[in-house]
Amino acid sequence: MIIGLTGSIASGKSTVAEMLKELHLPIIDADLVARVVVEPGTETLKQIVEAFGEEVLLDDGTLDRPKLGSIIFHEPAARKTLNDIIHPAIRQEMLRQRDELLENGSKDIVMDIPLLFESRLQHFVEKILVVTVTEETQLKRLMERNNLSEKEAMARISSQLPLSEKEKGADAVIYNNNSLESTREQLYKILGKWNVLK
Ligand SMILES: CC(C)(COP(=O)(O)OP(=O)(O)OC[C@H]1O[C@@H](n2cnc3c(N)ncnc32)[C@H](O)[C@@H]1O)[C@@H](O)C(=O)NCCC(=O)NCCS
Ligand SMILES: Nc1ncnc2c1ncn2[C@@H]1O[C@H](COP(=O)(O)OP(=O)(O)OP(=O)(O)O)[C@@H](O)[C@H]1O
């Protein structure tokens, strides 16, 4: 079964992905893929520099992620420009990794895709698992984890569909406001129902 793991920024996808890794399930991580496809020398990085200028590069030629983030999380048009450049490359690499895992005999695969709904990638997966939290918890955890002001954190949260909308499109929802044990319990129950935990 191909499981799409999603949620919104700082809702707890990586936390759940870690729990899935402990169960030895293979994970395809869209955020990680998004880093690989912009490594120096790639066509994608070249296009980003053409669109945003040399100032989004660090001295060593790698992408200045905080700089690009500070542009695209505040400007919808700039975000669209970046998405149009980078998303095709991310999709291609994620599908390549999925096909490789299937060829090597993996039956259950997790695709961790933060923008699964925003990018309309529901057809990539067979089941959608949404990790959700209340808005207050999301804001608090994002500010703490990324050391962001409330304004910067809100800009990032507002760049995505509300979690309440994502919950509606889910096959299963994990409520991640409480302890990690509670989250793990919910996860195991869902995997059991889907026959992933035998
Ligand atoms: C803007 C960039 C350089 C900022 O890098 P940074 O290291 O600060 O953040 P990171 O990549 O770890 O992303 C953190 C979270 O931000 C959110 N996010 C990232 N990009 C976007 C976007 N284009 N739109 C909305 N939310 C986004 C996601 O929830 C993601 O999990 C980077 O996020 C990026 O390249 N974004 C475009 C690629 C993308 O859409 N990635 C999301 C997964 S496909
Ligand atoms: N149940 C929990 N209790 C306390 N802290 C938690 C819990 N779940 C996650 N966190 C913390 O909240 C923050 C966000 O979680 P995590 O990094 O898993 O989110 P994410 O959805 O993967 O975010 P992103 O989309 O930005 O990658 C992290 O600092 C994490 O340690």
180 lines ligand 2 (CB under 6 A): yes
> Domain-by-domain residue ranges, the chain?
1-26+108-198, 31-105
Coil, strand or helix at 183:
helix
Same-fold call for 1-26+108-198 versus 31-105: yes
Which residue is it, tokens 């984890």? 145
9 lines ligand 2 (CB under 6 A): yes
| Beta strand spans in 11-104 (E) | 27-29
What per-residue confidence (pLDDT) applies to 197?
77
86 lines ligand 1 (CB under 6 A): yes
CATH code linked to domain 31-105: 3.40.50.300
Residues 6+ apart with CB under 8 A from 166: 6, 7, 8, 117, 130, 132
What is the arithmetic mean of pLDDT over 93-109? 96
Please name every residue paired with 9 in a beta bridge, in sequence order, or none if there are none: none
Which residue is it, tokens 């599908």? 95
Which residue is it, tokens 């050391």? 147
Q: What DSSP state is assigned to residue 114?
A: T
pLDDT digits (tens, 9 = 90+) for 127-136: 999 999 999 9
What per-residue confidence (pLDDT) applies to 198?
63
Ligand 1 center from residue 170 Cα (angstroms)? 21
Which superfamily is assigned to 1-26+108-198 in CATH?
A: P-loop containing nucleotide triphosphate hydrolases (3.40.50.300)
pLDDT digits (tens, 9 = 90+) for 166-193: 999 999 999 999 999 999 999 999 999 9
Coil, strand or helix at 174:
strand
Ligand 1 center from residue 103 Cα (angstroms)? 29
Q: Ligand 1 atom closest to Cα of 31? A: 43
30 lines ligand 1 (CB under 6 A): yes
What is the arithmetic mean of pLDDT over 116-123? 95
Q: Which residue's alpha carbon is nearest to atom 33 within ligand 1?
A: 69
